Amino acid sequence: MDSFPTGSKGSGRGRAVITASSSMEYAFEGDELADDRAPTPSVFTSALVEGLRTGEADLDGDGLVSLDELYDYVYDRVRERNPAQTPTKDIEMSGDLYLARSRRRARLPDDLLAALAAPNLFTRVGAVRGLRELLLGTDVRLATVARKELDRIAGSDVPQVAEAARAALRELVVVPSTRVIELTGARPSWLLRLDGPPLARVGGWQVTDPRIMVRPVADGLEVSVDPAHSLRGEITVAGLEIHVVATGAAHTHPASVPRPVKIRPAQPAWTWRTVVPAAFALASVMLGLNGWADLPEANSTFEYEVLAYVGLRLIESFATGVGAARQRWIWGLCGIGTLAGVWGLIVHGPGFVVLFWLVAAGVEIFGRPVDRVRAVLAAVVAVPSTVLVFTVDSNSHAGQLVFVLNGALAILLGVVTLAPVLLRLIR
């Protein structure tokens, strides 16, 4: 074991057993039962030796074959050749155990690595696009390495680069052709097509009923149930549940209509994701309308809107995974907003408010889609307001336009913040 990693990596201790099949199944050699007289290795042994010999069991491309990787590889290969045989594992271990080195270690191209390390922001954004192409490509090993690099960038780089990495990772999804499979005596099998990048489709599946037979094919999975059985169960693929309803031949009547499966959508939880935006939206609309109703005394109204926005962004910065760099930018913006709001309440002048919205537009334009919309609104209002504040008398008709614009901004910010919440509730 001296040639393997030492320390916390590769220093697992304990007991691990991997078996060719479960206690209720046979272990097959092709189409025949395996026994001591068989001159060739069994399906299980062939997959085990092949994974170690070729390095194919190195699923994450790090140059080492771990115990978990070997089991996942063997499981997939055995199930491909014989869906009725399920390799099992019984592991009582602390730490990771590596069994072999792999010569097929995946590595990013040198020019892409150089671009990722470049100090120029736009060069790194271009490198992220290159990682995205590898992530969605056909080389699963290289896609695995690209995903690890994108995960690192999403949590540590500047907001512009991190957001591009997160957008690429969001494309790594599997889309099944249906979420409900209905099998009958006349139709005992079903082709479940799986669309998505190859990396997203890598991995096994789980069934809640062993009578549901699953066989991988080129386009996805072939699902079948013995026509003599009637059952209800689920197949879990890439975190998605596919409902299976089988009506056996003995229960099928020509005039009968299969009972549809009703999947009840999850009820929306009233968490901070709904309560906080809704409270901010209500407060913003009320402040905006109040400012319009009493323009001469509207100064304090819009300082309160700034403070409400600061509270919203502080809560969002702690409750969402924005990354450490992005979080520091938001905290800085909130500090400026607090000073602008409090000082504006003391001196009763709109100048601090419009200057804050200018700063907010510059910071929020690099955030989430809803942040970018708020940034555009803030810029559209803050630019003309800044010109008016420093060039005309606040008591003139032109000066009153500043308060009209800021009232509109408060209302629009509330509507934009509430819109994603309403969409989630509708869906």
Does residue 262 belong to any structural domain of this protein?
A: no
Does residue 195 belong to any structural domain of this protein?
A: yes
331 vs 321: CA distance, rounded Å:
14
Tell me: do 277 and 300 sit in the same domain. yes
Tell me: do 88 and 127 sit in the same domain. no
Q: Are 176 and 193 in contact (CB under 8 A)?
A: yes
Tell me: do 198 and 149 sit in the same domain. no
Q: Which two tokens stand for residue 267?
A: 């009820």
Tell me: do 234 and 276 sit in the same domain. no
Name the maximum alpha-carbon separation found in the chain.
Answer: 102
Boundary (domain end) residue, out of 125, 141, 170: 170
Pairing state between β 240-247 and 180-184: parallel
Tell me: do 327 and 391 sit in the same domain. yes
Does residue 261 belong to any structural domain of this protein?
A: no
pLDDT at 18: 85
Does residue 1 belong to any structural domain of this protein?
A: no
CATH number reported for the structural domain that contains residue 210 in this entry: 2.60.40
Give the chain's residues under pLDDT 50.
1-3, 6-10, 34, 38, 252-257, 261-269, 298
Lookup result for tokens 């399920």: 86
pLDDT at 2: 41
Q: Which two tokens stand for residue 102?
A: 């792999």
Q: Which two tokens stand for residue 375?
A: 């940034």
Does residue 263 belong to any structural domain of this protein?
A: no
Does residue 38 belong to any structural domain of this protein?
A: yes
pTM of the model: 0.40
Tell me: do 412 and 349 sit in the same domain. yes
Other residues' Cβ atoms within 10 Å of the Cβ of residue 97: 19
Which string of DSSP letters, residue by residue, matches 277-336?
HHHHHHHHHHHHHHHHHTGGG-HHHHHHHHHHHHHHHHHHHHHS---HHHHHHHHHHHHH
pLDDT at 26: 66
221 vs 229: CA distance, rounded Å:
20
Tell me: do 89 and 132 sit in the same domain. no
CA 15 remoteness from chain centre: 34
Does residue 144 belong to any structural domain of this protein?
A: yes
Q: Tens digit of pLDDT for each residue in 171-193?
A: 888 888 888 999 888 888 888 88
165 vs 127: CA distance, rounded Å:
10
Q: Are 377 and 416 in contact (CB under 8 A)?
A: yes
89 vs 319: CA distance, rounded Å:
38
Report the number of distinct structural domains present in the chain. Answer: 4
47 vs 27: CA distance, rounded Å:
13
Boundary (domain end) residue, out of 251, 280, 307: 251
Does residue 266 belong to any structural domain of this protein?
A: no
Tell me: do 308 and 379 sit in the same domain. yes
Boundary (domain end) residue, out of 123, 150, 170: 170
pLDDT at 127: 92
Tell me: do 158 and 231 sit in the same domain. no
CA distances from 322 to 92, 158, 315, 328 (A): 36, 11, 12, 10
pLDDT above 90 covers a percentage of the chain that reads: 7
Tell me: do 348 and 206 sit in the same domain. no
- 378's CB contacts (< 8 A; 6+ apart) are 357, 358, 360, 361, 364, 409, 413
pLDDT at 166: 92
Tell me: do 225 and 368 sit in the same domain. no
Tell me: do 182 and 94 sit in the same domain. no
CATH number reported for the structural domain that contains residue 53 in this entry: 3.30.70.1470
309 vs 135: CA distance, rounded Å:
37
**What is the residue range of 140's domain?**
110-170
